[in-house]
Chains A and B, each alone.
Chain A
Amino acid sequence: MQITGPLALMALGLVMAGPGLAQTSGTTETPPAEAAPEAEAAAADAVPPPTETEPGADVTAEGNHILPNGMDITADYMENGRWYNAEGIPTFKIDDDVVDYAVFSGYRRYHAECHVCHGPDGEGSTYAPALKDSVLKMDYYQFQEIVASGKKEVNAAANQVMPAFATNKNVWCYVDDIYVYLLVRGTDSVARGRPAKKADKSPEFTAQEDACMNG
């Protein structure tokens, strides 16, 4: 959901700066069901591997685990207390409304470090974009790069500057947690607000957190 003009501009900028996945995945022009074969062929061209649910369809729909940017958010394995998909990209795991600990950690850090600009629950504010939507469009590496280096949109219509957080341990030690929390919000996998139930913090998670914060 875009809230404001400049935010819409910024989101557009992100899509255009992206690897093109968003444009080719059919988010803007979903062919109608009874589309002509040529149209289907064209769509097939643009989206190489056909998936069981159409990428770019409502990511909040039951059973869909492909984001508009093409990322499969299915949790595959756990390492150091955090979940990853088959490609090694951080993701989340929710069992019976219980979020994994990294999601909770991300909720907490987001609402300390990010929310004064980007609003509660990743929903955006009057002057900064809704990150719950941004993470569906940009990929993990772009997200990391913007958090590390910041972002600037200064022109006649906008005065938006995001700081670089690479040297801020309160952010950088938790950047993957913030990312998976925003994936949860973007896919509406749990309701807004503080996650009601969370998995315990594992010793591995604690060890890595300590190493990062004290390192």
Chain B
Amino acid sequence: MKYLLTGAAAAILLYGTALFANESVLTETGKPEQWAIQTGDYANTRYSELDQINKDNVKDLRVAWTFSTGVLRGHEGGPLVIGDVMYVHSPFPNNVFALDLANDGKILWTYKPQQDPEVIAVMCCDTVNRGLAYADGMILLHQADTTLVALDAKSGEVKWSVKTGDPAIGETNTATVLPVKDKVIVGVSGGEYGVRGRVTAYNLADGSEAWKAYSTGPDAEMLVDPENTMVLGKPIGADSSINSWEGDQWKIGGGTTWGWFSYDPELNLMYYGTGNPSTWNPAQRPGDNKWSMTIMARDVDTGMAKWFYQMTPHDEWDFDGVNEMILTDQDFNGTPRKLLTHFDRNGLGYTLDRESGELLVANKYDPAVNWTSGVDMDPASENYGRPAVVAEYSTEQNGEDTNSTGICPAALGSKDQQPAAFSPKTNLFYVPTNHVCMDYEPFRVAYTAGQPYVGATLAMYPAPESHGGMGNFIAWDNVAGEIKWSLPEQFSVWSGALATAGDVVFYGTLEGYLKAVDANTGEELYKFKTPSGIIGNVMTYTSGGKQYIGILSGVGGWAGIGLAAGLTNPNDGLGAVGGYAALSDYTELGGQLTVFELPGDAPAADAASAEPAAEPAAEAAAAEAPAEAEAPAEGEAPASN
């Protein structure tokens, strides 16, 4: 028996106890017909109970309708659906559109913020934005310039707004936010500008600041309790961060928080990871650089840290730890446990006990990973929890002005922010990955406020002696720590996955394909080429009782930097360079939402409650779809909100 913490389960729990709430988020994410926050649910499973579209009929999928955002930059994240309204966001300038799903997608309102374009100049890797969130009748937008805006979901009116950072010193935002209880929690980007990372909680009612927790610095500013904040079962101790840096480097030491947030209502803990220490030249920052590259568990009411685990002490490769933390309740070697699964940039797939922070599994999820020989799993060892660094690939040991070659993965990681999905039906994680290696040469840099602060030069190329492609889409067993199956992809898979009760897993590719594969076997069941490369995340919802799949196209982001012109491998020897595929041979810029459907009308059970009965004649094509029998039990008319 499995114990998946779905939004629905959490909602039931909450209604029963009425202890902790953001009632609205739990309620809305608990309805499978909606998509109320970017991650689908608080547990970040990206799993939907919808099953009208299933592995038998997904081959008949077709485009239902499309919508252009009017912006030609990288489109990350995805739309939300609350009731009959879809909310679509764009990259900078971060426009928001509310579309009436009951009225052919007519635009109900538009929000176009006025942002100083100078912020674009301090965004390291394209002007992406990973999307909106919903809470208490408000749409929450965290803009590139770090303005957090609460919009009335019905009218688009600004209810309040607050500045969470300062672009003049390189602070920007690309991430979504976490609305939880009476607060909304935000992060900050700028690890390549010497920004000091932190998360900040604002009160949902009026945007006033509730608490702020830095990733580095004095205990009081990190909201760390030397006795009660735990690290691998032991108290963290006093001045843990300050003691792990030389001088004041921590003040410009990174540890930014531009990834995803998850939340466990039962434990009242939020989970997220911190980014790279600044600079990329490890020689300029001796020490473990705590708490960069760390999984953090914090009480959402106070921000106080419950436990930390630093995955990559003293980073030497830019392996930010910001990727999503997926919360599941599963059997672990015969015992039901509350787990946290995380696919890190460093190429290791981690499974931890999310209550205690105990490390259970740390295995490579791409066989190409070579910078470490593995993590010390012996609790009695003084190196417990530390990865053993292979000297050949250590940019610290090889030193400044030395080019370390053949390091796998590359700085963009075996996986970047593109989120994985989990299906409680298969107990597998579906992970979009990169299959790229690099050469890395660190050198001395000077810090100037608001200017790039990098300090290394990189060359990236497809993993050698493999299939030649730059990505894989894998299924992962987080208990065994094993790859179940792996689908080679020509380019990095930079799209967030979606798993559904229809036993289908969806993801997008950089060429622009939306793909559907069998959740058990990985067999490709359907693909369709959208107008531009996909770096957005697949979502699903129902409207009028019928299931739809939505995905944003619009190539860009980190992937648009290296892959646009193709990559080269300098180690192939003279004359052999330049042979790898260029993304520009496959796709162009775009900014489009594509929504997919099955032919025919909604299954009778759902349609009856939502819309006039379907024309029987139109049903012939859909006859093979066993939809009626598998209509969602919770099927009801979408709430008008």
Identify the A interface with B (CB < 8 A).
1, 3-6, 97, 107-113, 115-117, 119-121, 123-127, 130, 150, 152, 154, 157-165, 167-171, 191-194, 196, 213
A167 contacts B448, C-beta separation under 8 Å? yes
Q: In the complex, which of the residues A115, A126, A169 contacts B589, with contact meaning CB atoms closer than 8 Å?
A: A126
A161 touches B570 (CB 8 A): no
A126 and B120 CA atoms in complex are apart in Å by 14
The interface residues of chain A lying within 8 Å CB-to-CB of B125 are: 116
Q: Which of B124, B564, B583, B589 contacts A116 (CB 8 A)?
A: B124
> Are the CB atoms of B448 and A169 closer together than 8 Å?
yes
Interface string of B432-452 (1 = CB under 8 A from A): 000000010101111010011
Nearest A residue (CB) for B121: A163
CA distance A8 to B91 in the complex (A): 21
Complex Cα spacing A5 to B91, Å: 17
Check A193/B448 contact, CB under 8 A, given A120-B562, A159-B93. Answer: no
9 extra A-B contacts, CB within 8 A, seeds A113-B454, A158-B72: A112-B443, A116-B452, A119-B565, A120-B459, A123-B566, A126-B74, A163-B122, A168-B451, A196-B574
Q: How far is the CA of A121 from the CA of B567 in the complex (A)?
A: 9
Complex partner residue of B560 from A113, A127, A152, A154, CB under 8 angstroms: A127
| CB <8 Å contact, A120 and B446 | no
Q: Could you tell me the distance between the alpha carbons of A188 and B71 in the complex, rounded to whole angstroms? A: 33
Q: A159 to B120, Cβ gap below 8 A?
A: yes
- Contact between A4 and B588 (Cβ–Cβ < 8 Å)? yes
CB distance from A146 to the nearest CB of B (A): 12
Top-10 shortest CB links A-B: A123-B565, A126-B560, A163-B121, A193-B570, A111-B457, A161-B120, A168-B451, A161-B121, A154-B117, A108-B457
CA distance A157 to B589 in the complex (A): 11
* A3 to B127 CA separation, bound complex (whole angstroms): 18
Q: Provide the B113-132 mask, 1 if CB < 8 A to any CB of A, else 0.
A: 00001111110111100000
Give chain B residues whose Cβ lies under 8 Å from the Cβ of A193: 459, 568-570, 577
Given contacts A191-B577, A194-B403, contact A126 B556 (CB under 8 A): yes
Known: A120-B460, A125-B560. A191 touches B574 (CB 8 A): yes
How many A-B contacts if CB must be within 8 Å? 149
Contact, CB under 8 Å: A125 / B561: yes
| B564 and A112 within 8 A (CB) | no
Task: Scan B480-520; emit 1 where CB is below 8 A from any A CB, else 0.
Answer: 00000000000000000000000000000000000000000
B456 at the interface (CB under 8 A from A): yes
A192 to B: closest C-beta gap in Å: 5
| A124 x B118 contact (CB < 8 A) | no
**Any A CB within 8 A of the CB of B267:** no
Asked whether, in the complex, the Cβ of B589 is within 8 Å of the Cβ of A6, the reply is: yes
Complex alpha-carbon distance, A192 and B575, angstroms: 10
Interface CB pairs A-B, < 8 A, 10: A113-B454, A116-B452, A116-B454, A121-B565, A124-B565, A125-B561, A126-B583, A161-B119, A162-B121, A191-B575
| B458: contacting residue among A3, A111, A126, A158, CB under 8 A | A111
Q: Is the CB of A157 within 8 A of B192?
A: no
Do residues B117 and A152 form an inter-chain contact, with CB atoms below 8 A? yes
Q: Check B560 against A120 for contact (C-beta < 8 Å).
A: no
Cβ-defined contact, A117 with B568, below 8 A: no
Interface status of B92 (Cβ within 8 A of chain A) = yes
With A3-B584, A120-B459, A126-B556 as contacts: A192 and B120 at CB distance below 8 Å = no
Least Cβ–Cβ distance between B395 and chain A, in angstroms = 13
In the bound assembly, the distance between CA atoms of A111 and B570 in angstroms comes to 14
**B564, A126: Cβ atoms under 8 Å?**
yes
Q: What B residues does A163 contact at CB under 8 A?
A: 121-122, 451
**B72 CB → nearest A CB, Å:** 6
- Which residue of the partner chain, among B118, B560, B578, contacts A192 with CB atoms under 8 Å? B578
Is A108 in contact with B117, judged by CB distance below 8 angstroms?
no
Say whether B565 contacts A113, CB under 8 Å.
no
Q: How far is the CA of A161 from the CA of B192 in the complex (A)?
A: 17
A5 touches B589 (CB 8 A): yes
B265 at the A interface (CB under 8 A): no
The distance in angstroms between the C-alpha atoms of A60 and B311, with both chains bound, is 47
* Whole-angstrom CA separation of A130 from B445 in the bound complex: 25
Q: Does B455 contact A (CB under 8 A)?
A: yes
Instruction: Chain B residues near A112: list those with CB within 8 A.
Output: 280, 443, 445, 452, 454-457
Task: Provide the bound-state CA to CA distance between A159 and B90, in Å.
Answer: 12
Q: Looking across the interface, which residue of chain B has its beta carbon closest to that of A107?
A: B457
By beta carbon, the residue of chain B nearest A110 is B457
One of A120, A157, A161, A170 near B118 (C-beta < 8 A): A161
- For chain B, residues 88 to 109, give those with C-beta under 8 angstroms from any C-beta of chain A: 91-93
B73 an interface residue at 8 Å Cβ cutoff? yes
Does B270 lie at the interface of the complex (its beta carbon under 8 Å from any beta carbon of A)? no
From 543 to 590 in chain B, residues with beta carbon under 8 angstroms from any chain A beta carbon are 555-556, 560-562, 564-570, 574-575, 577-578, 583-584, 588-589
Min Cβ gap B270→A in Å is 30
- Given A120-B565, A120-B567, A191-B578, check contact A111 B122 (CB 8 Å): no
CB-based contact B439/A194 at 8 Å: yes
Whether the pair B117, A161 counts as a contact (CB closer than 8 A) is yes
If A4-B588, A162-B121, A193-B459 touch, whether A119 touches B71 (CB-CB below 8 Å) is: no
Q: How far is the CA of A179 from the CA of B293 in the complex (A)?
A: 35
* B451 adjacent to A116 (CB under 8 Å): no
Q: Is the CB of A119 within 8 A of B561?
A: yes
Chain B, range 533-547, C-beta contacts under 8 Å to A: none
Q: Which residue of B lies closest to A195 (CB)?
A: B570
* Chain A residues within 8 Å of B453, by CB: 170
The residue that B555 contacts in the complex, of A121, A126, A130, with Cβ under 8 A, is: A126
B454 CB → nearest A CB, Å? 5
A190 to B39, CA, bound (A): 46
Interface residues of B in 115-156 (CB under 8 A from A): 117-122, 124-127
Residues from chain B with a CB closer than 8 A to the CB of A113 are 452, 454
With A and B bound together, what is the CA distance between A6 and B443 in angstroms?
Answer: 34
Is B562 a contact partner of A119 (Cβ separation < 8 A)?
Answer: yes
- B530, chain A: closest CB distance, angstroms: 16
C-alpha gap A194/B562 in the complex (Å):
15
With the chains together, A158 CA to B591 CA distance in Å? Answer: 13
| B560, closest chain A residue (CB) | A126
Check A165–B451 contact: CB distance below 8 A: yes
Asked if A127 contacts B73 (CB within 8 A), the reply is yes
Q: What 0/1 readout, one digit per residue, does chain B (72-87) give for beta carbons within 8 Å of chain A?
A: 1110000000000000
